[in-house]
Structure 1
Amino acid sequence: MPFNKVRAFFNKYRFAATKDSHETALPYRIVTTCRTSEVAKLEELMRQLLSAYDVTYQGSEPAVQAHLTSITVEVMCSVRERGGLVQLVTRVAREVSVRSVQWESIPQRSARSAQARSASASSAAHATALPA
């Protein structure tokens, strides 16, 4: 009989904890350094692999060495989706042109600021599309 009470107690609190943790999307940043000649191919691969995620930022810039480029992608994903993010990083790292891949959580930024950033980016895109 005491065992049933203990099981009921843990089931109650385990369910509440997993429900909250799975529903919360957290921001992550993936930085990939690759050969400049292969940027378009790698960006297309990452776009395909990230189609199920909420991408809040994507950009590329020259790396320290002249023939390398850094591709930065910021995504929002829940704890449940994080396994897929690990698989994505592993898959990108296997590409021949990739020199390094690192990913990290972004604790300073909340979901609200990520949405504000994407909203401001989309409003800037709409502002440039208007005729002069």
Structure 2
Amino acid sequence: MKSLLDRDRACLWHPYTQALTATAPLPVARAQGVYLYTEDGRRILDGISSWWVNVHGHSHPKLNEALAAQARELEHVVFAGCTHRPAVELAERLLALLPRGLTRIFYSDNGSTAVEVALKLACQYWQNRGQPNRRTFLTLH
């Protein structure tokens, strides 16, 4: 039987990793709070919150229960042409915290989608204002 790391090397690409010279990835079995636990039982501080995603720690009981409760009702629905009560309620709560003039919320799960949608919203804005040819964007490197 091949080891987990051998199987990993055979089928996965790890982003931001030089595949030819990289050390073996850390075989994480579980996580709790600010710690990762490896397959061999080591406890390691997750100092970057797994790429800044788990800012509240891993496996937080209140968050886990809230996620499970929502998943039992509705885990996901496409937002193009659909809506749901939790999305509206959260948007209303967020808008109450924001400065005047900010009137809409867009939910995104990653930066690439957020930028893509922002560009499309800008195009839609000019289309709706009767200026459909305003579609040029400037980027800085």
Q: What band does the TM-score fall into relative to the shorter chain? A: under 0.3
Higher relative contact order (CA 8 A, sep 6+): 1
More strand by share: 1
Q: TM-score, normalised by structure 1?
A: 0.27
More helix by share: 1
Which structure has the greater CA radius of gyration? 2
